[in-house]
Amino acid sequence: MLSLNSCSSYQQFQEIAEEFEIPSKLFKSTYNQTWQAVLQIMQKYDLALQNQEAGVIKTRWIDNTLQLNFADSFGSRDSVKAAKFKLIVNVVKGFSGSREVAKVTVFKRQMIEQDFLQGWKVVTSDGILEKSLLYRIERVISIDNKLKKIEEQRSKELEEAF
């Protein structure tokens, strides 16, 4: 009886831990390179705060009522009257051995309004936007590194030909 109860409490703990886990990724690049990649990805959003020294980017509230209603149109939930979200991106400098690395964390605060009597309430994000932003940042850094290698190789070839 005791073992059954402990398994269910672990499942509850696991659900809570997954719910509050903020998507993040560690990049093997410098802080400045990672910051520039984050800025490049976030340029399509309306930014409210952009502070490189603190490593924080915040967006203004963005309306996503149509997207939320369309995505859940085949689900069991009712459509929402209004929906909005805000993104908070943190970039932190660190070291792995002697190599500089940067950790990027993306937090999405999603709010919905079912009707005007209930008001706005916070709902958990599905995590898709956060993971796609981290993937895009990774691709920008990867492309940037490949371009740097090509430039270094080209400069070596020109130096040897001279």
Closest CA to 54 of 35, 30, 33: 35
Q: How many CB atoms lie within 10 A of CB 7?
A: 10
Token pair in block for residue 82: 């209004």
Predicted pLDDT of residue 162:
75
Kindly give the confidence (pLDDT) of every residue in the chain, 162 residues in length, as a single tens digit, with 9 standing for 90 and above.
444 455 556 666 665 555 567 899 999 999 999 999 999 999 999 999 999 999 999 999 999 888 777 766 565 566 778 889 999 999 999 998 889 999 999 999 999 888 777 778 888 888 889 999 999 999 999 999 999 999 999 999 888 887
**pTM, two decimal places:** 0.77
